[in-house]
Amino acid sequence: MNPSPAPVPVSLYKKRQKIHPREIAGRFQNWRWVFVFLTQAVFYGLPWLQWATEVGSRQAVLFDLEARRFYLLGMVFYPQDFIYLTALLVVCAYALFLFTAVAGRLWCGYACPQTVYTSIFLWVEQKIDGSKIQRERLDKAPWTWDKLWRRVSKHSAWLAIALVTGFTFVGYFTPIRSLAAEVLSASLGPWQTFWIFFYALATWGNAGFLREQVCKYMCPYARFQSAMFDRDTLIIGYDRERGEPRGPRGRGDDLKAKNLGQCIDCGLCVQVCPTGIDIRNGLQYECIGCAACIDACDQVMDKLNYPRGLVRYDTENGIEQHLDRKTEFLRVLRPRVWVYTAVMWLIIAAVGVSLWMRPPLRFDVLRDRGALARWNEDGQLENVYRVQLMNLVERPQTYRIRVESTELPGVSLGTPAEVTVGPIEARWVPVSIHLPADQAPPKDGAHAVRFVVERLARGSDAVHEIAESSTFVVPR
């Protein structure tokens, strides 16, 4: 550290240097393409799956915001099931913590949409504009017909991918098959049009232009990863001891005599880096863990007949203390990893049990507020309620309502007890409860009653009962 730095004019802003990562092939690049195909097959394919129900088939995964019904394969969720979304997000967060604590930014490097779409867009760019050097030269070149058609075709291809992505995204919220028909007949609604184009624009902008800037300036994850990293976390590291001093050498040079390490300072690791850093400077917040530099360095090591792994997946302790893989593996099992794993599986188990025990119906009882109680023509005391029945399954169901009370054993239902409710329908049913006058208790006021709704057996649906408590008012 320089105690008296020389003053120079600097700015709080700087012009962005466009990064053209050099094309690379290798083990980890292959893994990235595996994840690109996997994630995109799921993203583009899922909305086209249909799910057969008793009342016809529907889209298997559909989040119908307008009707507030969220279809997930055989299940239908309601806004009341928000807790499951919370649980899902908590599980995702813990999975992220766990993977990061064990092996660094795996998500960023292989599965994050920002990485995935950038990979796809870069592939298109390479096909049209050529290699890193050709792309850099084209950027500087004056506008010619050649540059024009390359630019036009590149952006057309990008926009095509972006529009399909936007269309698919909207297809999760509005049935994609009818959406496709509307697109073909140019009869899209205004909001569908807006979101398709908005999401397409975001894809085009993020993957085509912003690229590594999203990771460097916008993504909060890069900023708090240091809280999840420790010295036993697998990161992409440069073996300084083995590589330094770096420098060019001729074939068969004696490294000891020339005082050289194994790094030939070819700079390939910098050229392939999508965020433009030099991994040899150590762990940096810009590093998204894509391992392109490992692939690049391994190629060079192979050519020189040096062992691979000058740049490799390793832990900070591993590089410094020369730990073998077995010791490193044992160090994976440290308290934070146990805690993340335990909490994650605990929540997954809780969600699983909760889904397994999820009732096929929901109901609510609301007392009529206008009149607490009344005497009917038969001289019985009568209270009126509104029962909201929600059929949570995609089959018509018949429910039998009954009322029980230990305080008022004589209560009975004054309205028809059986109600048939359509698939995933919610219905208000007015219900009255009777109490013969001679059974009215000496004490007036509110008395506890219990409503029980029983789902009658039908086909494969077994009998299921749930209860809600309410009160029966005896007037003065």
Partner 1 sequence: MSDFFSSGWSWYIAAVTIAGLGFCLWLLLASSKTTTMSDDGTTGHVWDEDLREMNNPLPRWWLGLFIITVVFAAIYLTFYPGLGAREGTLKWSQEGQLQAEQAAAQAKVAPLYAKYTAMAAEDLATQPEAMAIGQRLFLNNCAQCHGSDAKGSKGFPNLTDGDWLWGGAFDAIKHSITQGREGNMPPMAAAVGGSEDLRNVAHYVLSLSDSAHDSLRAQLGKPKFAACAACHGSKGEGNTALGAPRLNDKVWLHGWGETAIVTMIQNGKHNVMPAQNQLLTPEQIHVLAGYVWSLSNGKPAVVAAK
Binding site for partner 1 (CB under 8 A): 1-3, 5-16, 213, 217, 368-371, 373-374, 376-377, 382, 384-386, 396, 415, 420-423, 425, 427-428, 430-432
We find the least distance from the C-beta atom of residue 369 to partner 1, in angstroms, to be 7
Q: Determine contact, residues 421/394, Cβ cutoff 8 Å.
A: no
Residue linked to tokens 């990771």: 215
Residue 226 has what DSSP assignment? Answer: G
CB nearer partner 1, residue 26 or residue 276: 276
We find the least distance from the C-beta atom of residue 380 to partner 1, in angstroms, to be 12
We find the least distance from the C-beta atom of residue 14 to partner 1, in angstroms, to be 4
Q: Residue 224 has which token pair?
A: 């708090």
Q: Determine contact, residues 242/312, Cβ cutoff 8 Å.
A: no
C-alpha–C-alpha distance, residues 432 and 409, integer Å:
16
Q: How many Cβ atoms from other residues are within 10 Å of residue 111's Cβ?
A: 15
C-alpha–C-alpha distance, residues 415 and 433, integer Å:
8
Q: Determine contact, residues 271/296, Cβ cutoff 8 Å.
A: yes
We find the least distance from the C-beta atom of residue 475 to partner 1, in angstroms, to be 10
CB nearer partner 1, residue 322 or residue 386: 386
CB nearer partner 1, residue 291 or residue 421: 421
CB nearer partner 1, residue 15 or residue 325: 15
| Closest alpha carbon to 408 in 358, 315, 363, 473 | 473
CA dihedral 151, 153, 157, 159 (to 10 degrees): 60
CB nearer partner 1, residue 252 or residue 379: 379
Q: Residue 366 has which token pair?
A: 């609301």
We find the least distance from the C-beta atom of residue 316 to partner 1, in angstroms, to be 22
We find the least distance from the C-beta atom of residue 356 to partner 1, in angstroms, to be 27
Cis preceding-peptide flag for 21 (omega within 30 of 0):
no
CB nearer partner 1, residue 21 or residue 171: 21
Q: Write the single-letter amino acid at 242.
A: R
CB nearer partner 1, residue 12 or residue 186: 12
CB nearer partner 1, residue 11 or residue 57: 11
Alpha carbon 406 to its chain's center:
49
We find the least distance from the C-beta atom of residue 411 to partner 1, in angstroms, to be 16
We find the least distance from the C-beta atom of residue 422 to partner 1, in angstroms, to be 3
C-alpha–C-alpha distance, residues 183 and 215, integer Å:
34
Residue linked to tokens 């999508």: 274
Map residue 472 onto helix, strand or coil.
Answer: strand
